[in-house]
Every structure is written in C-alpha cells, then in structure tokens.
A = this chain, B = another copy of it.
Amino acid sequence: MTEEALRAAFAGARVTIAGGLGFIGSNLARRLGEFGAEVLAVDALLPDLGGNRYNLDGARGRVAIEIADLRETDAIPFVEGREYLFNLAGQTSHQGSMDAPFDDLDLNCRVALRLLDTCRKVAPDIAVVFASTRQVYGKPHYLPVDERHPLAPVDVNGIHKLAAEAYHTLYREVYGIKSSVLRLTNTYGPRMRIKDGHQSFLGAWLRAVLEGAPFEVWEGEQLRDLTYVDDAVDALLLAAAVSEAEGGVFNIGGGRRVTLKRLADAVIIANGAGDYTIEPFPAARKRIDIGDYHADDRLFRRVTGWKPRVALKDGLARTLDYYRGNLEPYL
C-alpha cells in the first residue's frame, strides 16, 4: 500500500492505542492524527515504562489522551465503537521482568487478555495489532530467525509476551477477532526513553552522547538489526489494514544487521562526537542474553509490501536531532 492508500484507509477511522504516550505508540498516534484518524491514546504513565506526556505534545489532528491503568480499569470505554486497537502497552525490559516478574505478568498478560476479551464482548469487529518481541525466540538456533524458529524465551518478559501473542492467535481462531502480532526487534527513534536503559540499551547510549558523557558497550560483537520508528509505524498500520484477510504472527526486522560496536560507532558519527568503552556483560544480564539476532521478515514483506525506508545512519541522525531540540522532557 502506498502512503496515500494508508492515509485513505485510516482517515476518519476510530483508533485506540494502548500505550499511546509511549515511544512507538505516540509516533503511531501522531501519524494517525496526520492521516485524519480519530485517535484515543490510553496510557498508565507508569514511571519505569516508556510513557511520556511530552510525546504527544503538539500532535496534529484529533488525538485524545486518557490516563488509565488497564491492569485495573475496565477496558470497555476504550474499545467499544472503535475500529482499530493497537496494543503497545506493556513492560519491555528484560532485566526488569526478572526483577519484578509479577508486574511483568500483569502488565503484559493481564492487560493484553483484558483488551482482547473486552473486544470479544463489545467490539467483535475490531482489528487488533499486538506489539510483541523477538525475545519469544530465546537464543537463536539459526540466523536470520524466521517465524518457524522454536519458541524458547529466556526471560520472564519473553514468556509473557509469548502468552500474550497466543491469546491473539486463539481469539482469532476461536472467536474470529481480526488480530495480528508483530515481533519487533530493537526499535529506535524520536520519543524513545533515553533516561536510562529500561526500554533499550540504545536509549542510554543516546543520552550519554547528547550529554557529552561516555557510554558502555557490552562485549560489542553481538549482532542486532534495528528498526527506525517510522518504519515500525508503517508496519503496524499495514498489519492493521490487512488484518481481515492476512492476520497472523510476523517478524519485523530492519535493514542491515550490525554489531553493537559498529552501532556505537554509528551513534558517534551521527552525533559528531562521543566516546565509549567496551565492557564485559554484567553477570545478571549475561544469564538472560540471547546472543546474536537478526530477523527474517520476508513473510511480512510479502504479505503487506512493507519495507524499511530509513537507513541506520539517517535514523540515528534524525533521532539525535530530535533530542537536541527536546532533551529536557526525556531526562
């Protein structure tokens, strides 16, 4: 689908975004606002997660915000009468899920189940897109990882995201709820949490270079692929647009794979200055580390025509540019 076709598909659509003040959720909300959709961004603004009121500052179009904790709040007002639900709520920190596994259970399983089960009851025609994670695969047995790779998560977050994915597949098969699951890998861009490494190691790196401080790279040889947030937003919109005919579970990758060390170099080049040290993995992190990962996302490309449009160096430059003008709200 072209940008124009996407715009036409969502113009006037009633869309709810759970986690709508978060990193990806807010970028999605802004884009949908520009498309002329009627957006409701729901967010709990929990301190350790990615929600930030500033993320929707100045958003164009009809973008409403509701602060609500879906672990406890009835979800009916947020899904009844809506055409699309994007679930980008949840806890994403791997180490955080090990430190607070019950919070992760509620934030990922309970919230996803509540949203879906409410859709079943009051909005059975809604299209639901759930943001999952490469973490459901655990340590890759082969690269690139496709959707047939065994599922063996190595942290609590991966276990719960996998359960939440399975709810979506189940509710599609048993109740006919149109649903898709996107297994995201490292997404980056404007509005990500950079205060610390809770959302991604890259957030902490970006803050460091912006503040002129050195950052730590663990080991450095590990392979990753990264998705610029605008490309991730494209993927979410496309998944929703085709979900009636083509629901399912899809990997989302990015462009070229890079080692962490090359990524660190790219950050410094994009910033024009910076410094890092190579450090061994902290023991607690090493135990839940997955090693190299990059995604085979050909299935999603084939089904939707999606492809990433923003190269890593451009994405990093745009991201740093954003924070140079908007640093304070993210510290």
Show the binding face of A for B, using Cβ within 8 Å. 98, 101-102, 105, 109-110, 113-114, 117, 150-156, 159-160, 162-163, 166-167, 169-170, 173-174, 287-288
**Bound-state Cα–Cα, A151 to B174, Å:** 17
**Bound-state Cα–Cα, A140 to B277, Å:** 50
Structural contact, B163 and A109, CB atoms closer than 8 A: yes
Structural contact, B98 and A113, CB atoms closer than 8 A: no
Structural contact, A166 and B159, CB atoms closer than 8 A: yes
Give the residues in chain B near A101, CB-CB below 8 Å.
113, 117
Structural contact, B110 and A287, CB atoms closer than 8 A: no
Give the residues in chain B near A110, CB-CB below 8 Å.
102, 105
State the majority secondary structure of interface residues on A.
Answer: helix
CB-CB nearest 9 A-B residue pairs: A159-B166, A163-B163, A174-B287, A159-B163, A101-B113, A105-B109, A101-B117, A153-B166, A151-B151
**Bound-state Cα–Cα, A69 to B321, Å:** 54
Find A170's partner among B105, B156, B169 (CB 8 Å cutoff). Answer: B156
Residue from the set A155, A166, A169, A174 with the largest chain B CB neighbour count within 10 Å: A166
**Bound-state Cα–Cα, A174 to B101, Å:** 14
